[in-house]
């Protein structure tokens, strides 16, 4: 019995040991599985990080880790490439690659190394050739005539050309936009004629052109050729060679509308007692009647004369219709009938007469404090003398004439 019991005990003990050995093997397999999973996760993370580093080096910074492709020869055809504001050398290279100019980003980046002029490449449109070497692409972008489509608008300019006292012509905004559209692209001119631009400006839907909602109702009432006057603010614009007349206007008006917002329009007119469009009209008058230092005072005279029911009698409104930049007007000019004649009509002109600056818009919204009703340019540097009475004003006129300023 003892033997049997011990034997039975030993047998059971042996079986129990076998059970423990099997359980241990299963636990070990689970631990190994977890280790494999961890290592796979680590490998995946490392692969993702490596891929991100590779993408950043090759696609953003233009560094090709395995050499690079490059073209040779004079290229195949002309293409317009747009360089955005703030583009790095690598980003410029990516643009050129996307437009088929270079064979790889590295081709351009490598050719640009050591040439500090590349850092000065300005945003805008460039005429390039497809399938040229990185070195040729750098040379073309740095060429003086590479950049096309730049339009500069200065404060006080108007849509139409001006005839100066000496008979020379000062191109207006329309003519300058036509000139900016010009380039040679694959042997053909991209120039948009002045007549096409005038037709679109006179007939196209103002909302479709991008004119701000607050300006559309009043601008629509103007003579067709004057609808866009005052809505193109001063500044530098980049227009794409090869664009249509409508696309050119849309590009310029969209950027100008953004500048109007920066200047505070239309909210800036809220406490003036005038509509935003009327403030724009006043700003255009202020721009043509004085220099920046006098803008707030000229604005106050405008407010005061309107409040008194007095005619503005601004020579700039007479010369606007005559397309002349002169300071003074002749009696026969002032006698001409017309909606823009502020010697004959009370109130503001129907529309703006020039491209107002941001400073002129701010002055139109916030005039200086004062009771002046008159002013005249009395100094050769453009400064005006202001007066409360007609008698004081006459004395200022005589002073201006003595100074040779009027």
Confidence tier at 68 by pLDDT (50, 70, 90): confident
pLDDT of 3 reads 40
Q: What is the pLDDT of residue 364?
A: 98
Q: What percent of the chain has pLDDT over 70?
A: 83
Q: Give per-residue pLDDT as tens, 186-231.
A: 999 999 999 999 999 999 999 999 999 999 999 999 999 999 999 9
pTM summary value: 0.81
- Spatial distance between the Cα atoms of 139 and 317, rounded to a whole number of angstroms: 49
pLDDT for residue 11 is more than 50? no
Q: What is the pLDDT of residues 264-311, one digit of tens each?
A: 999 999 999 999 999 999 999 999 999 999 999 999 999 999 999 999
Pairing of strands 374-377, 235-238: unpaired
Q: Closest Cα to residue 227, out of 245, 248, 212, 240? A: 212
What's the rounded mean pLDDT across residues 164-184?
94
Tokens of 231: 């809505």
Which two tokens mark 166?
A: 């000496």
Burial of 149 from C-beta contacts in 10 A (0-12 / 13-18 / 19+): buried
pLDDT given for residue 37 in this prediction: 62
The Cα angle at residue 357 between residues 327 and 274, in degrees rounded to 5: 90
- C-beta separation of 194 from 178 below 8 A: yes
The mean pLDDT of the chain is: 88
């Amino acid at each position: 019995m003892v033997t049997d019991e011990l034997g039975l005990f030993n047998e059971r003990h042996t079986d129990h040991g076998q059970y423990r050995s099997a359980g241990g093997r299963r636990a070990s397999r689970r631990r190994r599985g977890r280790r494999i999973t961890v290592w796979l996760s680590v490998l995946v993370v490392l692969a993702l990080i490596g891929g991100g580093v590779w993408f950043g080096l090759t696609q953003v910074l233009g560094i090709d880790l395995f050499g690079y492709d490059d073209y040779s020869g004079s290229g195949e055809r002309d293409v317009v490439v747009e360089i955005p504001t703030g583009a790095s050398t690598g980003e410029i290279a990516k643009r050129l690659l996307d437009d088929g100019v270079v064979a790889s980003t590295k081709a351009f980046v490598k050719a640009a190394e050591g040439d500090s002029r590349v850092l000065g490449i300005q945003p805008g449109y460039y005429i390039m050739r497809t399938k040229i070497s990185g070195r040729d692409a750098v040379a073309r972008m740095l060429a003086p005539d590479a950049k096309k489509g730049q339009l500069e608008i200065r404060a006080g300019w108007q849509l139409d050309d001006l005839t100066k006292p000496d008979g020379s012509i000062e191109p207006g905004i329309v003519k300058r936009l036509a000139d900016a559209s010009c380039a040679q692209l694959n042997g053909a001119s991209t120039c948009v004629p002045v007549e096409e631009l005038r037709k679109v400006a006179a007939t196209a839907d103002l909302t479709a052109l991008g004119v701000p909602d607050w300006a559309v109702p009043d601008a629509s009432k103007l003579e067709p050729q004057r609808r866009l006057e005052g809505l193109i603010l001063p500044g530098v614009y980049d227009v794409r060679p090869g664009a249509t007349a409508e696309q050119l206007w849309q590009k310029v008006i969209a950027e100008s509308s953004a500048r109007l917002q920066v200047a505070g329009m239309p909210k800036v007119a809220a406490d003036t007692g005038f509509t935003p469009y009327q403030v724009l009209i006043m700003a255009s008058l202020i721009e043509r009647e004085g220099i920046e230092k006098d803008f707030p005072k000229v604005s106050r005279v405008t407010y005061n004369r309107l409040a008194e029911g007095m005619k503005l009698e601004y020579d700039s409104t007479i010369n606007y219709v005559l397309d002349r930049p002169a300071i003074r007007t002749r009696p026969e000019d002032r006698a001409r009938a017309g909606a823009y004649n502020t010697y004959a009509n009370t109130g503001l002109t129907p529309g703006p007469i020039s491209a107002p600056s941001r400073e002129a818009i701010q002055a139109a919204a916030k005039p200086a404090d004062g009771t002046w009703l008159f002013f005249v340019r009395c100094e050769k540097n453009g400064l005006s003398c202001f007066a409360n009475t007609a008698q004081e004003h006459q004395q200022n006129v005589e002073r201006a004439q003595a100074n040779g300023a009027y």
